[in-house]
Amino acid sequence: MAPPTKTLVDQLRSGDTRALARAITIVENRAPGSSELLKALFPHSGKASIIGLTGAPGAGKSTLVDQLAKLYRKQNHTIGIIAVDPTSPYTGGAILGDRIRMQDHFSDPGIYIRSMATRGSLGGLARATADVATVLDASGRDRVMIETVGVGQDEVDIVRLADVTIVILVPGMGDDVQTIKAGIMEIADIFVINKSDREGAERVEREIRALQTLALRHDGWTPPIIKTIASDGHGIAELAAAIASFEDYLKKEGLAQKRSVENWQERLVEMLRDTLLDTARRRLGDGQLAKLAAEVAAHQRDPYTLIEELAERPDR
């Protein structure tokens, strides 16, 4: 390990928040040294409990994460929070209330918050998020919470990598449950109906239950439905209890390991695809690519044979 990486790893492991911030930036930007850093950090990771929370914009994800963080801090757990492309960020000024609320924690080194913007492809974002989670994990954080707006399959990919996935619904969003069920129903280990102070929480609960009877999970777990009012802390203790009992269930049934293997199977394929594509693109070069494209466009070459050749010998 090169000296700068070793120093950074040592600092980060000793709880230095600035070193942690620096490491996350390197990894997030795929800056030089990023893969060396991840190689050095990986052996230290795998201990944190990763909690993914997803739900529509404004569902109250940040408020819930905030409340959970407070509760876990009381139990002396250290927390890392990754907010992926939040529309009401912890760090920005979009919603003033959010900022003031989160500032409670800023003096507490036991909570580290990072928000990540959507840039480039979402597939890349999922991988970057997973890598940032690895950095937080390796830094010794007990719990890492990842907040993402769950509107599409790509965002679903992000939270699916968590040990525990929480799907947040709110009453009064029409046929919300119907619209999101495709991607999200299967990934929820726990359902939260937030804003239960509003009309219609019972209806949402009935809808979830109805869908649950149609789709039984292969691991035998029935996701509990927790009603919360995140803005006043109502139901947070129940949510934390549900998280704990799911974690127990995974452990008892030996499912944690199985899930982890399944997740890594997908991540490895993604990493391999990224790397092979990178290598091929680098060998090919833009000039060569333009030349080949021109030949295909002029029908001097067929793209099918060309791709087979490139895949076998990327340096043609």
Ligand X SMILES: Nc1nc2c(ncn2[C@@H]2O[C@H](COP(=O)(O)OP(=O)(O)OP(=O)(O)O)[C@@H](O)[C@H]2O)c(=O)[nH]1
List of residues contacting ligand X (CB under 6 A): 55, 57-63, 86-88, 95, 97-98, 149, 194-195, 197, 229-231
Q: How many residues bind Mg ion (CB under 5 A)?
A: 4
For residues 24 and 83, what is the distance between their CA atoms, to the nearest angstrom?
A: 13
Shortest spacing between CB 164 and ligand X, in angstroms:
18
Two tokens at 59?
A: 């569902």
Q: How many helices (H) and strands (E) does the chain have?
A: 12, 7
CA dist., res. 91 & res. 62, Å (int):
11
CB closer to ligand X out of 98 and 137:
98
Site string for Mg ion, 81-110 (x = CB under 5 A): -----x-x----------------------
Residue whose CB is less far from ligand X, 41 or 116: 116
CA 242, CA 257: separation in Å to the nearest integer? 20
C-beta of 35: minimal distance to ligand X in Å? 30
Give the Cα-Cα-Cα angle 147, 158, 138 (nearest 5 degrees): 80
Minimal CB distance to Mg ion: which residue? 62
Nearer to ligand X, 99 or 301 (CB): 99
| Structure-token pair, residue 35 | 């893969």
Shorter beta-carbon distance to ligand X: residue 212 or 231: 231
Contacts of 88 by beta carbon, 8 Å cutoff, 6+ apart: 58, 62, 94, 95, 98
Stretch that binds Mg ion, among 6-14, 45-53, 80-88, 160-168 (CB under 5 A): 80-88
CB of 231 vs ligand X, minimal distance in Å? 4
Residue whose CB is less far from ligand X, 150 or 223:
150
Residue 210's Cβ-side half-sphere holds a number of Cα atoms within 13 Å equal to 9
Please report, for residues 13, 94, 194, the alpha-carbon distance to residue 230 in angstroms, rounded to integers and kept in the order given.
Answer: 33, 19, 7
Identified binder of Mg ion from the candidate list 5, 34, 54, 62, rule CB under 5 A:
62
CB of 112 to ligand X, least distance (A): 18
Based on CB atoms, which residue is closest to ligand X, 129 or 194?
194
- Residue 149 interacting partner from ligand X, Mg ion, none (CB closer than 5 to 8 Å by kind): ligand X
Q: Rounded to an integer, what distance in angstroms lies between the CA atom of residue 199 and that of residue 174?
A: 12
What is the rounded CA–CA span in Å between residue 139 and residue 136?
Answer: 5
Q: How far is the CB of 239 from Mg ion (least distance, A)?
A: 16
110 binds, among ligand X, Mg ion, none (CB under 5 to 8 A by kind): none
